[in-house]
Amino acid sequence: KAGVTQTPRYLIKTRGQQVTLSCSPISGHRSVSWYQQTPGQGLQFLFEYFSETQRNKGNFPGRFSGRQFSNSRSEMNVSTLELGDSALYLCASSSLGAGELFFGEGSRLTVL
Amino acid sequence: DAKTTQPNSMESNEEEPVHLPCNHSTISGTDYIHWYRQLPSQGPEYVIHGLTSNVNNRMASLAIAEDRKSSTLILHRATLRDAAVYYCILRDPRDDKIIFGKGTRLHILP
């Protein structure tokens, strides 16, 4: 079956702009979680959605938001971009329970 | 703060077994122990997970201490393709807020 698909794979923005990233989970998976990965901070949890509801949120400012649609696809948005938002943004999907997470290849954001 | 502690890096020779340790002294009864690895320029890849008993799959084995406060990922015969950053995480199915630590960077020597 198809894996987790993230789009776009690469993008460049300037400070002050906003960006929307998309994640299509594996068919049948209803949980989608998002992570930010930077060389200095490693992998950091952003938020997790299940059946269109945000169940958990990490310690990120309100500029970072997300949502999940009825088909389980998810988007995350970052507004008023800062240089420090340059990172690899990863999403992962899973079925209910403690089973494995399936990660996408990520969206690499560069803020100039 | 990360709920798990791992060595920053480890080195092993090709075709030899590798034992990657992880400490999780604050583990709760509902936490599953998961291992993932991340190759350069890729998203993390699932390796194995378990709750209390040792687990084996085609990629690796997971040995869990009796008190569950530590675990060891075992690669039985390392290859160059196993060079990656390995993450040990705790996952509570009731609360999917996953905290990743820094992981262990595994170097394989030919």
Contact state of B51 with A98 under an 8 Å Cβ cutoff: yes
Q: Which residue of A has its CA nearest to B41?
A: A105
CB < 8 Å to A104, chain B: 43
pLDDT reported for residue A42: 86
- Residue B72 Cα distances to A39, A51, A105, B23, B87, angstroms: 25, 34, 27, 9, 11
Per residue in A48-88, pLDDT (tens digit) is 999 999 988 999 999 999 999 999 999 999 999 999 999 99
Q: Cβ of B39 under 8 Å from any chain A Cβ?
A: no
Whole-number pLDDT of residue B2: 59
- Whole-number pLDDT of residue B101: 85
Query: pLDDT grade, residue A45 (50/70/90)?
Result: very high
Does a cis peptide bond (omega within 30 degrees of 0) precede residue A8?
yes
Q: Is A56 on the interface with B (CB under 8 A)?
A: yes
Q: What is the pLDDT along chain B (110 residues), one digit of tens a residue?
A: 558 999 999 999 999 999 999 999 999 888 999 999 999 888 999 999 999 999 999 989 999 999 999 999 999 999 999 999 999 999 887 777 788 888 999 999 99
Pairing of strands A87-94, A102-103: antiparallel
